[in-house]
Homo-oligomer: A and B are copies of this chain.
């Protein structure tokens, strides 16, 4: 399942947050990869809105597995001061509800989920 969560980066720390995430520690990347975080992406708005999108088998399990790793504790500690909420940045994440999924609704209606004539001329 693909999940989406949001958080809030302090507006005076946007550059620092961007820089930290432009080159995440290799150990952190491998830890995410190996604890079930697939296709993980973060997006940042000018107002500090942070959106995370990730494919997981189980979000709870992926979080629990990351939380057990020392590299994660180090990373979260380094990031904590960049967030508006107090405490561990991970705990300030708010999961959003999926309210629309194009492929699922097409499939539910028995309609093809992929364009039937990709690249074909319009005639």
Interface of A toward B, CB cutoff 8 Å: 2, 4, 6, 17-18, 21-24, 26, 29-30, 32-34, 36-37, 39-45, 49, 51, 53, 94, 96-103, 105-106, 109, 111-116
User: What is the copy number of this chain in the assembly?
Assistant: 2
A24 contacts across to B, CB distance below 8 A: 100, 105
Cα–Cα, bound, A97→B45 (Å): 7
Report the bound CA distance from A39 to B42 in whole Å. Answer: 17
Q: How near does chain B come to A72, taking the closest CB pair, in angstroms? A: 14
How far, in angstroms, from A42 to B6 measured CA to CA in the complex? Answer: 13
In the complex with contacts A29-B111, A33-B115, A115-B34, A2-B99 CB distance below 8 A: no
